[in-house]
Amino acid sequence: MKTKLSFALLFLALMAVLPAQSQRRAKGVVSQAVEKPVVVNNVIFMIGDGMGLAQAHALQLATGEMPAMFKAPVIGLISTDSYTHKITDSGAGGTALATGYKTRNGMIGMGPDSTAVPSLLDIFARDGRRTGVAVTCDVTHATPADFVAKNISRKNEQEIAADFVKSPVDVVIGGGLYNFTRRKDGRNLVSEMKDNGFAFFESLPKSGKGFNKLLVLTDTAHPAPAAKRTNYTLAEATRVAIEALDSRNDKGFFLMVEGSQIDWAGHNNDSTYLINEMIDFDKAVGVAVAFAEKNPGTLVVVTADHETGGLTLIHGQNKRNKGVKFHFSSDDHSGVIVPVYAFGAGASQFSGVYDNTDIFKKILKVAALDPK
Ligand code: MG
Ligand code: ZN
């Protein structure tokens, strides 16, 4: 008893003479441990389909300006391989980003055993948050489909369109009207979605404010490439989608924005097409980041499902002219890791080198959502 007491006294005496600095350090450790977690209400998830580092750098070289995405305070890199292939397609690549599952190439929102799995959009909606997709392809194309639909094949676009009626999605902007209205089963999905409360437009409304449910199908099939697209820019679509989601926002929202045709430019080995698509996509990133700056609690994550074209930047014809040539080494996807640019609340979670399926986990973690 006496020994214990003397030890206690000795301890107290030591505490009293501890240098102030180590006490401060000790306090710092404590305050870090109890630091309030970042609250992420809104997530704007932006996918440049086929956008590798070289595509982003090519944008900078072609415009002579710092791309909006390059202003990200946090940068990461992700691997993009699928369950079946070292080189993914957009179906499996988007499924990994949307659901956290690696799956078979060509699949939409399903695990490799063909079981439907919830996407980020489903999980945010289940939590009572609003959800949307805004793209520059058919809305039933692989990437948006990965967030909204479940199908064994990306080719079943009419079945995928029918999933939009069942989905909790609130805002849909893109092309692909005919998959909704000229159908083998005779259904008119636009009428069905109107019955479910959607306002429907064939051109982008000036503002999204006040819309609870908004369906905008601007083209019968895919919208035109950015250089020829006169009906909307991805930046405008992003603004309208955010306005619609945010104006009735109580718990927050999840919006997926896709620069869909960066991939097609890569397949075509067309650098002019590529730069125009990158400009269109990066302006949309600018809109999202500006919103995040004004609205604390908003996370913006910009990444890709895979790289397309094996793009590299090499010497022009003449080494002495110091020019650079955009050189495509493939007309297909490549397996190279792709960049992640993160802004706003929770962004610090996205640094490092990790797997495409980790994006799903990280977004749920910062948004305090359970995947189950
Ligand atoms: Mg896509
Ligand atoms: Zn592709």
Tokens 């479940």 sit on residue: 150
Could you read off the pLDDT of 151-160 as tens digits, one per residue? 999 999 999 9
Residue 211 lies in a domain: no
Q: Beta strand pairing status for 338-344 and 213-217? A: unpaired
Q: Domain residues for 135?
A: 44-165+252-366
* Section 203-231 average pLDDT: 98
Of the ligands numbered here, which is closest to the C-alpha atom of 138? 1
pLDDT at 23 over 60: no
The torsion region of residue 109 among left (phi > 0), alpha (psi -120 to 50) and beta comes to left
* Section 217-222 average pLDDT: 98
Which structure tokens are listed for 257?
A: 């924005």
pLDDT at 211 over 60: yes
Separation between Cα atoms, residue 85 and residue 268, nearest integer Å: 22
Rounded alpha-carbon distances, angstroms, from residue 11 to 2, 15, 100, 306? 14, 6, 51, 59
Residue 86 lies in a domain: yes
The pLDDT, as a whole number, for residue 38 is 76
Could you read off the pLDDT of 184-201 as tens digits, one per residue? 999 999 999 999 999 999
pLDDT at 19 over 50: no
Could you read off the pLDDT of 41-71 as tens digits, one per residue? 999 999 999 999 999 999 999 999 999 999 9
Of 2-11, 105-114, 181-190, 231-240, the least confident: 2-11
Measured in angstroms, how far is the CA atom of residue 199 from the centroid of ligand 2? 32
Q: Which of 31, 79, 82, 90 is catalytic?
A: 90
Rounded alpha-carbon distances, angstroms, from residue 340 to 103, 108, 216? 21, 22, 28
Of the ligands numbered here, which is closest to the C-alpha atom of 48? 1
* Section 163-173 average pLDDT: 98
Number of H helices, E strands in the chain: 13, 14
Residue 120 lies in a domain: yes
Angle at which helix 271-294 crosses helix 234-247, to 10 degrees, equals 30
Indicate if 207 belongs to the active site. no
Q: Which candidate, 127, 195, 138, 131, places its Cα nearest to that of 161?
A: 138
pLDDT at 15 over 90: no
Could you read off the pLDDT of 90-103 as tens digits, one per residue? 999 999 999 999 99
**Which residues have C-beta within 8 Å of that of residue 91, sequence separation ≥ 6?**
103, 105, 106, 107, 108, 142, 145, 146, 153, 154
Rounded alpha-carbon distances, angstroms, from residue 313 to 15, 75, 234, 324, 365? 61, 21, 26, 6, 37
Measured in angstroms, how far is the CA atom of residue 333 from the centroid of ligand 2? 6
Separation between Cα atoms, residue 216 and residue 198, nearest integer Å: 10
Separation between Cα atoms, residue 259 and residue 190, nearest integer Å: 24
Using a pLDDT cut of 90, give the percent of the chain over it: 85
The whole-chain average pLDDT of the chain stands at: 91
Measured in angstroms, how far is the CA atom of residue 99 from the centroid of ligand 2? 20
Residue 238 lies in a domain: no
**Which residues have C-beta within 8 Å of that of residue 123, sequence separation ≥ 6?**
364, 369, 370, 371
Using a pLDDT cut of 70, give the percent of the chain over it: 88
| pTM higher than 0.75 | yes
Measured in angstroms, how far is the CA atom of residue 20 from the centroid of ligand 1? 58
The identity of residue 51, as a single letter, is M
Give me the CATH number covering residue 55.
3.40.720.10
Strand order through the sheet with 171-175:
198-201, 213-217, 171-175, 130-138, 253-259, 42-48, 298-303, 338-344, 74-79, 352-355
Residue 144 lies in a domain: yes
Measured in angstroms, how far is the CA atom of residue 119 from the centroid of ligand 2? 21
Residue 212 lies in a domain: no
* Position 124 confidence tier, pLDDT thresholds 50, 70, 90: very high
The identity of residue 104, as a single letter, is R
* Position 251 confidence tier, pLDDT thresholds 50, 70, 90: very high
* Position 249 confidence tier, pLDDT thresholds 50, 70, 90: low
The identity of residue 110, as a single letter, is M
Residue 232 lies in a domain: no
How many domains are there within the chain? 1
Residue 23 lies in a domain: no
Of the ligands numbered here, which is closest to the C-alpha atom of 105? 2
Beta strands in 180-228 (DSSP E): 198-201, 213-217
